[in-house]
Chains A and B, each alone.
Chain A
Amino acid sequence: MNSVIGMVFIAIGLFFDLFGCIGLLRLPDVYNRLQAATKCVTFGTCSILFGTFVMLGFSAAGIKALFCIIFLVLTAPVSAHAISRAAHRSGIKLWKGSVVDEYEEDSDQV
């Protein structure tokens, strides 16, 4: 029973990973690609690790999978935010269909 629940979690995570990478390949802009890929792939990998924890139970490997989930949730948004801020500061233009750029307005005011 535990293995079936773990396989369901792993399958959900796999399809989130696949759709995130399709978005990374398909969307027109750096910021859109970051927006699509980071959240989908982080959630998908966390779901795969939770499936690993469910399949292995409270053994050493399962507890390490839980620690890996906490570490990914803490670090992946930080690195994505740093990359997008650096891309905006290095002068990469937005896609021409974008409607608003709040960061540009705020840095004009200061």
Chain B
Amino acid sequence: MRMTWIIGTVLLLAVVAVIIFIDLPTLFYPDLPFVGFFRHCLYILLLSGVFCLARIIRGPTAADRVVAIDILGILIVGICSLLGIPTGRSWYIDIGIAWALQSFIGALALAKYLEGKEFDE
């Protein structure tokens, strides 16, 4: 039990250190200001999204999956906001606002479905 804790902590610290200290290959426009910092930020948000996907796969009940989908929607708003700064394209933040609205309505509908009611009650 304690060994799994230690192994998991060491693996997590190793992955975060690799993301922070080593230049991974770029995913978007390579010759814009601050692009190195935003590349590290984007990789950390992608790691968080991978954790949410692992909870969606492993989750024992349906409520776990609904919670993970809600959290993933909020993370994607952050990803859109981060993509908007170094590329200079401000419509990424519009996509973020629309995604937040869609994620909110989707979470409410999934909660209604989980509670066992009809949609028009």
Residues on A close to B: CB < 8 A?
Answer: 3, 7, 10-11, 13-14, 17-18, 20-22, 24-25, 30, 33-34, 37-38, 41-42, 44-45, 48-49, 52, 55-56, 59-61, 64-65, 67-68, 71-72, 75-76, 78-80, 82-83, 85-87, 89-90, 92
- Per-position binary interface string of chain B over residues 70-102, scored 1 when its CB falls under 8 Å from any chain A CB and 0 otherwise: 110011011001101100001001101100110
> Could you tell me the distance between the alpha carbons of A20 and B49 in the complex, rounded to whole angstroms?
11
Residue of A nearest to B66 (CB): A83
Within the complex, the shortest CB–CB distance from B26 to chain A, in Å, comes to 18
The count of A-to-B residue pairs whose CB atoms sit within 8 angstroms is 147
Residue of A nearest to B68 (CB): A24
B115 at the interface (CB under 8 A from A): yes
> Could you tell me the distance between the alpha carbons of A55 and B16 in the complex, rounded to whole angstroms?
25
Classify the interface of chain B: helix, strand, loop or mixed: helix
B37 at the interface (CB under 8 A from A): yes
Given A49-B81, A61-B93: A21 and B63 within 8 A (CB)? no
8 extra interchain contacts, Cβ-Cβ under 8 A, other than A24-B71, A33-B55, A41-B74?
A: A18-B48, A20-B71, A37-B71, A41-B71, A64-B97, A68-B77, A75-B104, A82-B111
Chain A contacts for B110, CB-based, 8 A: 83
B45 at the interface (CB under 8 A from A): yes
Residues on B close to A: CB < 8 A?
Answer: 12, 16, 34, 37, 41, 44-45, 47-49, 51-52, 54-55, 61-64, 66-68, 70-71, 74-75, 77-78, 81-82, 84-85, 90, 93-94, 96-97, 100-101, 103-104, 107-108, 110-112, 114-116
